[in-house]
Amino acid sequence: MGEGRTAIRLAAMASWLAFPVYAWQGIGVRLRVERLLPARGEPGGRLPGQGAEIRLLVVGDSSAAGVGLDHLEDGLAAQVARHLNDRTGRPVTYRTAGFNSAISTELRDHVVPHIEPRDWTHVLVSVGTNDIKNFRSGRGWKTGFGGLLYALRARFPHADLYWSNIMVMTQVPALPPLLGRILERRARLINMIGNTLCAERGATAISRMSEMDPQGFCSDGFHPSASGMAMWSGHIADHMRISAS
């Protein structure tokens, strides 16, 4: 435990030393990158099948909101639901509660309390990228994400809870190489803390994908495209437990 805390402190210190470069290059990226809108369509749906129903809730940021996609049918919740439906043949009901630019504390305070407390079997959290992008401190992330896990566990006590680790930031086309390396340091810090919190609070941390094809991003070079979302959702579905009944 002590070694883990030391590693987290060292990672945080190293990334903060690079803050001036982050601020300089980050402003340029914000001015240059195209601003995309959330996807249109219904936030939920149902896929038919045989056997016990799988009920999937996705809570998160712009990835959950389908920013850059034409329709929510190509979004994270719908695509994970399709993978689960294809692999099990069972009916899958899904719902997404995603919002552009959301960070962990906003999901904890403003989203989770307003989601209907129904009997979801699987709850997937997609959050952390904006905490990285906003250069939020490790302590702030720990408080926000840790509280979010508590809130989800309290509201949906019988669901399997999952969180997907942040993607490799050096593979994001919109980021200049140096900025990508700086944000990758932050991503490793966020993932390190997030994995520890998941282990402590009854959630499963899903490993990051090792590689994302450049074609897997939208025109802004930052958000996953429909094909990138399909790749990511398949990776997530691979790590989800499906009970026999």
Higher-scoring residue by pLDDT: 51, 14: 51
CB atoms within 10 A of CB 58: 30
C-alpha atoms less than 13 angstroms from C-alpha of 244 in its C-beta half-sphere = 0
Task: Report residue 133's pLDDT band, with 50, 70 and 90 as the boundaries.
Answer: confident
Any residues with CB less than 8 A from the CB of 50 and at least 6 apart, and which?
89, 90, 91
Residue 59 pairs in a beta bridge with 97, 125
Q: Report the percent of the chain where pLDDT is more than 70.
A: 86
Tokens standing for residue 171:
């593979």
In terms of phi and psi (left: phi > 0; alpha: psi -120 to 50; beta: otherwise), the region of 204 is beta
* Cβ contact 95:77 at 8 Å: yes
The pLDDT value recorded for residue 35 is: 81
* SS3 assignment, position 108: helix
pLDDT tens per residue, range 172-216 = 998 888 888 888 988 999 999 999 999 999 999 999 988 888 789
Task: Report residue 3's pLDDT band, with 50, 70 and 90 as the boundaries.
Answer: low
Count the residues in the chain. 245
The pLDDT value recorded for residue 24 is: 47
Q: Report the percent of the chain where pLDDT is more than 90.
A: 68
The pLDDT value recorded for residue 245 is: 61
pLDDT tens per residue, range 67-81 = 999 999 999 999 999
* Cβ contact 124:58 at 8 Å: yes
Residue 148 has pLDDT above 80, yes or no: yes
Question: What is the mean pLDDT of the segment spanning 149-157?
Answer: 96
Any residues with CB less than 8 A from the CB of 162 and at least 6 apart, and which?
122, 123, 124, 125, 203, 204, 205, 206, 236, 239, 240
* Cβ contact 190:143 at 8 Å: no
- CA pair distance 27, 37, nearest whole angstrom: 20
Tokens standing for residue 98:
């995603």
Geometric angle at alpha carbon 197, from 191 and 201, rounded to 5°: 145
* Cβ contact 135:19 at 8 Å: yes
| Low-confidence winner among 31-35, 59-63, 189-193 (lowest mean pLDDT) | 31-35
* Cβ contact 187:167 at 8 Å: yes
Residue 145 has pLDDT above 50, yes or no: yes
The single-letter DSSP state of residue 53 is P
- CA pair distance 86, 181, nearest whole angstrom: 37
